[in-house]
Structure 1
Amino acid sequence: MDKNKIIQLLPDIAAFVTVVESESFSHAAKKLGMTPSGVSRQISRLEKELQVQLIKRSTRSQSLTIAGQEAYQYGKNILQQAQDVVNIASKQKQDIEGILTIASPKAFCRQVLQPLLLEFVDTYPKLQLKIQVTDKPIDPLYHDVDVVFRLTNEPQNNLVAKQLATNDLVLCASPYYLEKKGTPTHPKQLAQHDCIYLGETNTDNQWRFKSEDEELKVTVNGRYIVNHTEMRLDAALNHFGIAVLPAFVAQKALQSKALTEVLNDWTLLDNYQGTVFMQYLPNINMPYRQRVFIDFITERFSSDLRKKLSNCN
C-alpha cells in the first residue's frame, strides 16, 4: 500500500481506535462529532482496505477479532505518536504536576537516591513525589507504583528494565577490631571471627565466596545480627566485628580509614547486590511527569555516581 493510501486511512484508523475504547459505535460517534452510521462506514472502509474483519458486530454487542486486537495496538500507537508530534513545543514549557510514586530499597534510597529526589522535587514545585522505602518486593501494577528501583541480577521480566549502575558488596571492619582479632586472609578464617550479618533467613549466616579458582561457603557467627544496613555499619564502626555492606554504604568510612576492607580479592555472592535497575510498566501513554523523572534519574547517574556504587577505594 502506497503512502498516499495510508494517509487517507488515518481518519478511519482514528475512528476504529475510538470505537474500541468507547466500546460502542454510538459513544464513539458522539466523541467524533459524527453519526453512528458514519463511524460504521469508516470501520467498514478500513476493513475493506486491510482485507480483514476487525470487529464482530451483532445487534447487542461487538467484539474484536484477533486481527482487530493487533490493529488496535498499532492504531493506538499511531495516535499517541501523532499526539507527541503535536505536543513537541508545549512539552518544553508545560509544568510537571500530579502525583508520582516510586519505591526503593532502604539503604539505596537513603544513601544514593535521596539527594536526587530532593533535587527533582525542587526543580518541579507542582509535582507531588510519594516515596515507598522498603526492602520487600514491589510490583508496580499491584502496588500502584510508577517506578521501582531494584538491586538485583534478575529484574522483573514483565517490566521495562533500565540499567543504571552496578552495586558490589564488601566485607569490612574497624582497624581496632582487626588489630585485636587479626585480619582474615581466607574466607574459612571468618568462622573464628565475630561477623555482623542480616539474620532475615536461616541461611543468612552462610556466606558464599568466589575467587578465580575457588568457590566455597562459610558459616559465620556473631553477637550482633541486624537486617538494617546502616545499623550494621554503625556496629562495624564500634568494633563489633566484620560486616557485610553495600559499597555505597561503606564508601565514606573506608575512604576515611574508619573501616578497612577485608578479603577484597574474593567476591561475596549474596542478595542486595548486582545491577541497579530502574523498572516500570511498559506504557505508550506514560504520563509526562514519569517520562521526565526517568530521564532525570538516567542523566544524574553519571560516571562518578556509578563509580560510587561499585568502587570504594
Structure 2
Amino acid sequence: MFDPKLTALLPDLASYILVVTEGSFTGAAKKLNVTPSALSKLITRLEQALNCKLVERTTRKLIITQAGQKVYDQAMVMMNAAQQAVEVSQSEHLEPRGSLTVAAPEAFLNSVLQPHVTTFLHLYPEIQLKLRVADGEIDLFRDGIDIAFKLTDKPDENLVLKEIGTTNLVLCASPKYLAERGTPIHPTELSMHDCLYLAETARDNIWEFARDDAFFTISVSGRYAVNHSQMRLSGVKNHFGIGIFHDFVVQQALDNGEVVKVLPEWTIKSNYHGVIAMQYLQTQYMPTRLRVFIDFINAKLMAR
C-alpha cells in the first residue's frame, strides 16, 4: 500500500520530468506557465522531500545527478502509467489520436518507411507522427520513443520484438567504374580501389568479409565519404568507387543496371544486418495509436 503523503509529490515529479526533457528551467517554465525561479524553488522542495540532489545548477547548463537520473526514470514510469490509464478509459471505437514517436536508421527511414508515412497520416488524421533518425544505440524509455526500428542480428531482449523482414549488406559499383578500374575478385584487392564509406567513426573505413572459414579485415580509402545512404549511392552511380549498402537501399539501382554487385559470394560483417526489428516497450494496455501503426507497417512491409 503506498503512502498517501506521496501523492503530494506527483505534481512536482511531473514538473521535474519536464525540466529534464527540456534541459533547462527556462524552457520547462515556459511550458508550465510559471517563472524559472518558481520552478527552481519547486525542484528544491522536491529535493528536500526526497532527501537527494536531483540537479546541479550552473550558469551555462543543467546537470542531472546520478540520483536525479534514477528519479527521472521512475517518474517516467509513473507518467507512462498515467497516460495508459487515460487511454484505457477511452472507448476503443474512438478514432486513434495522440502523439507517436518513431525512431529508425536513416537508410531504412528514407528508403523503406518514408513512402508509407503519408498514407498512414491520411488514414489517421488525429495522430501526430514524429520521426527521428537514429543510427546508433537508443533507449526507448529515456529518449521517449514509442517504436524503434533496428537492423540487427541481436534485437533488444528487454523489448517486445516484431520481425518484419531481413536485410543484408551489398557491395556494389557502377559498370563504368569497374570497366575502368577492374573488378576485384578478392576482398584484399579493395585496398587498391576507391571506396565510399560512412566516415562517422575512426573504424568506418575498416570493412570485414567472411566466406566459409575465411575472414578478412580490409582498410579502405577513397575520395568521397558520406554518412547518408542516398548521397553515398549517388556517388557510386557517378563512378566514384565501391560502396556498401543495405539491400533495400540499392535494389532499384541493381534492377536498373546503374550498379552491379561486387564480391557477391562474400558476406559483409557488420552490426547493422540481420532482421528488421520493430521493437517497443512491454505494456499491459497498448495505446490505440500504437497498435494501428504496428498493424499498418506490418501489413505494408510483410507484403513487400
When normalised by structure 1's length, the TM-score is 0.67
Task: Name 2:122's counterpart in structure 1.
Answer: 122
Separation of aligned partners in 2, 1:133 and 1:191: 31
Report matched runs for 1:134-173 at 5 Å. 134-173=134-173
Cα deviations by residue, 1:54-83 (Å, 9 ceiling, x for unpaired): xxxxxxxxxxxxxxxxxxxxxxxxxx9xx9
SS in 1 for 2:222: coil
One-letter code aligned to 2:106 = K
Residue 175, structure 1, aligned to residue 175, structure 2: yes
CA distance in 2, matches of 1:241, 1:124: 43
Distance in 1 between the 2:302 and 2:134 partners? 25
Whichever residue aligns with residue 100 of structure 1, its letter is L
Segments ≥4 residues shifted beyond 4 Å:
none
Structure 1 residue 277: Cα displacement: 0.7
What residue is the counterpart of 1:186 in the other structure?
186
Q: What 5-or-longer segments of structure 2 have no aligned partner?
A: 8-83
Say which SS state the counterpart of residue 103 (structure 2) adopts: strand
Q: In structure 2, what is the equivalent of residue 214 of structure 1?
A: 214
Residue aligned with 1:226, SS: coil
Aligned pairs for 1:92-107 within 5 A: 93-107=93-107
Question: What is the match of residue 195 of structure 2?
Answer: 195
CA-based RMSD: 2.3
Give the Cα separation in 1 of the matches to 2:187 and 2:285.
51
- Alpha-carbon distance in 2 for matches of 1:294, 1:142: 21
2:248 is aligned to 248
2:52 corresponds in structure 1 to none
Partner residue, 1:269: 269
- Are the counterparts in 1 of residues 190 and 220 from structure 2 also a CA contact under 8 Å? yes
Q: CA deviation at 1:23?
A: 5.3
Aligned equivalents of 1:191 and 1:206: distance in 2? 10
Q: Distance in 2 between matches of 1:98 and 1:210?
A: 46
Per the TM alignment, residue 303 of structure 1 is displaced from its structure 2 partner at its CA by 4.4
* Deviation of the 1:187 alpha carbon: 0.8
1:165-203 Cα deviation digits (max 9, x unpaired): 111111111111000000111111111111111122222
Partner of 1:293: 293
Amino acid at match of 1:145: I
1:110 aligns with 2:110: yes
Q: How far apart are the structure 2 equivalents of 1:101 and 1:219?
A: 38
**Residues 179 and 246 (structure 1), Cα distance of their counterparts in 2 relative to 1, 3 Å cut:** same
What is the rounded CA distance, in whole Å, between the counterparts of 1:213 and 1:182 in structure 2?
26
Aligned length: 225
Amino acid at match of 2:121: V
Residue 105 of structure 1: how far off its partner (Å): 0.9
Report the alpha carbon displacement of residue 150 of structure 1 after superposing the two structures with TM: 0.8
1:234 aligns with 2:231: no
CA shift, 1:275, in A, is: 1.3
The one-letter code matched in structure 2 to 1:277 is A
Output the amino acid matched with 2:122. D
Aligned-pair identity in percent equals 45
Q: Structure 2 counterpart of 1:124, which letter?
A: Y
Structure 1 residues 8-37: Cα deviation after superposition (integer angstroms, max 9, x where no partner): xxxxxxxxxxxx5x755xx9xxxxxxxxxx
Q: Rate the CA distance shift 1:125–1:299 in 2: closer, same or farther, 3 A.
A: same
Corresponding residue of 1:204? 204
Amino acid at match of 1:168: N
Alpha-carbon separation, structure 2, partners of 1:187 and 1:94: 57
1:224 is aligned to 2:259: no
The aligned amino acid for 2:127 is: L
For 2:284, the equivalent position in structure 1 comes to 284
**Alpha-carbon distance in 2 for matches of 1:185, 1:237:** 20
Mark the CA change 1:255 to 1:165 in structure 2 (over 3 Å): closer, same or farther. Answer: same
Q: How far apart, in 2, do the equivalents of 1:136 and 1:121 lie? A: 26
Contact 2:103 2:145 in 1 (8 A): yes
Instruction: Give the TM-score normalised by the residue count of structure 2.
Output: 0.69
Report the Cα distance in structure 1 between the residues aligned to 2:233 and 2:293, rounded to whole angstroms.
Answer: 31
1:255 Cα deviation from its structure 2 partner? 0.5
- Secondary structure of 1:301's counterpart equals helix
